[in-house]
């Protein structure tokens, strides 16, 4: 698995960074649900599921960053 730059974990606004990232996935999921209900079932379901799947790495990154901050005493 590739390692990413975790320098944002030490920033004072680290939660805002994660919230913005999670918001991206949430908006994708919500738009997918709207498309699913109004326009096209398959396309909407694919977009909604992609948005939800996007949230899993964000949660994993949140736990990882919290651990890094604990280790650094922040």
pLDDT tens-digit map of 15-65: 999 999 999 999 999 999 999 999 999 999 999 999 999 999 999 999 999
- Reduced to 3 states (helix: H, G, I; strand: E, B; else coil), residue 5 is coil
What pLDDT score does 36 carry? 94
Tell me if 6 is assigned to some domain: no
User: What six digits make up the tokens of 63?
Assistant: 């736990």
Task: Give residue 22's pLDDT.
Answer: 95
In a domain, 8, yes or no: no
Q: What is the pLDDT of residues 5-17, one digit of tens each?
A: 788 889 899 999 9
| pTM across the whole model | 0.78
Give 2's pLDDT tier (boundaries 50, 70, 90): low
Domain with 38, as residue range(s), is 13-72
Q: Are 27 and 51 in contact (CB under 8 A)?
A: yes
Q: For residue 7, is it within any domain?
A: no
Total domains in the chain come to 1
């Amino acid at each position: 698995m590739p390692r990413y730059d975790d320098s944002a974990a030490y920033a004072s606004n680290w939660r805002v960074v994660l919230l913005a990232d999670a918001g991206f996935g949430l908006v994708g999921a919500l738009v997918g649900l709207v498309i699913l209900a109004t326009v096209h079932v398959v396309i909407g379901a694919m977009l909604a599921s992609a948005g939800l799947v996007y949230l899993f790495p964000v949660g994993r990154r949140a736990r990882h960053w919290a651990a890094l901050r604990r280790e650094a005493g922040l």
